A and B are shown apart, each in its own frame.
Chain A
Amino acid sequence: MDTVKQIDSDDHMVQDMLAISQNRDQEALNRLFDHYVPKIRAFCLAAQPGANLMADDIAQEVMIRVWRKAHTYKPETASLNTWIFTLARNARIDYLRKNSRHQSNIDPEYLWRDVIDENADPFKDAQQKRDQERIQIGLAKLPQDQQQVLAKVYLEGKTHKEAAEELSLPLGTIKSRVRLALHKLTIYIKR
């Protein structure tokens, strides 16, 4: 993917977020809908293939939160993609706990708080930007097998153990693939 182009289009969307929070601009919401809804649906369908109704429900739920919570989004602390990913992830967890065989009374709202820190810290923000760029560039360069495992965990919502079962590989292999990938993306530094 062309990194420069992506950053440029991200800027437009951050402008749209601003237009929503300040002017309640429905046109801006319309543009974000076009961009993000196919991604949110794909994210849901990766975990539950064929569950189109669920995908539609979650996509709508996420976009309603975008509309209502736009003012809480701070571009300097997280990219818009990351922010919307957390909304989609949390909505998917909530949907699954209410509709699955194993219903849970644990409310995910208590467990995944906003990525956005309460205290502004310019040093941390700069660090965050660098991490963001490193991850974006590094991800494209990862070998196929490492990308595949990351996709299983993040998009299909599988644990390491479930990914191992599905790919018929030993758990150790999955663990080392993820660790290698995280190491290359400088997310994981051995303690």
Chain B
Amino acid sequence: MTIHYHPSIEMLTDYAAGSLSLTHSMSIATHIEQCQECQQQIRKLTTLGGQLFTQTTTEDANIVDLKASFFDKLREQDRSESMSSTVKEQGRRDQSTDHMTSEETLLSWEQDYQVPKSLRQFVPFGYDKLKWMPLSPSVKIATLCQEEGGAQVALTRIKAGASIPTHTHTGDEITLVLEGAFSDKSGIYRQGDFITRDASHKHKPMVTKDAECICLTVLDAPIEFTGWLTRLFNPIMRRYHPHSNH
């Protein structure tokens, strides 16, 4: 798989450093699951983090007390663990069978779709099991999480050959193609492609005719539809966004 559109080096750096917001980190984590090139980049950026980390130190702190309490805690935990290990063992066995059933369900429902590991917290049973809200006969969205004071993460599912009405963004928007492909006047985007659009951008994405398209989107602020009829959607989009006043 060749991926043509990647996150900026700034975003990758902030992700490796752990300074990027969790919502944006989710889109990076999902991209690097599919992108070898960015995986390599993250590896090096993390090595740099390790190096900067070794250069730090605090001289003033007295760690003797901290150490004593740490070893007490460790002994306490080890003791309670060995006592409950048989119970735990049983629990683990149950958990692993649970896990298998959910994997199997995932496969039987959607033969071709592999939900990225980074999204499984919010998509544990496959895309079909999510609560989808129809925006039009061919477009639906499912909100995965909304951060107070942060962005909104959602999935958009568009039928083959359909298009999303022309819209602009009131904030930055990240789109990551999970399944299928779509195009706009700037290019064609396939699985794994990572596209960033800012508020000035006005576009009309169209899905290719061969298959439906599922995208992960991270929105800083609600999108605004610009066509006269589709402007009717705007109150709905605002209502489903955490920043709205409605």
Contact = CB atoms under 8 A, between A and B. Distances in A.
Given A26-B71, A110-B120, A160-B10, A93 B47 contact: no
A135 B51 contact: yes
A38 B61 contact: yes
User: Chain A: interface secondary structure?
Assistant: helix
A151 B52 contact: yes
Among B10, B41, B119, chain A packs the most CB atoms within 10 A around the CB of: B10
B70 to A, nearest CB: 5
A178 B77 CA distance: 43
B150 A102 contact: yes
B29 to A, nearest CB: 4
B25 interface: yes
Interface of A: 1, 6, 26, 30, 33-34, 37-39, 41-43, 45-46, 52, 56, 59-60, 63-64, 67, 78-79, 81-86, 88-90, 92-93, 97, 101-108, 110-113, 115, 128, 131-132, 135-136, 139, 150-151, 153-155, 157-160, 162, 175, 178-179, 182, 185, 187-188, 191
Given A111-B25, A113-B117, 20 more contacts: A38-B57, A39-B53, A42-B56, A60-B70, A60-B73, A81-B50, A82-B50, A89-B17, A104-B22, A110-B117, A112-B25, A131-B43, A135-B47, A135-B48, A153-B19, A155-B53, A159-B14, A179-B9, A182-B9, A188-B9
Interface of B: 6, 9-10, 13-14, 17-23, 25-26, 28-29, 41, 43-59, 61, 63, 66-67, 69-71, 73-74, 77, 117-121, 145, 147-150
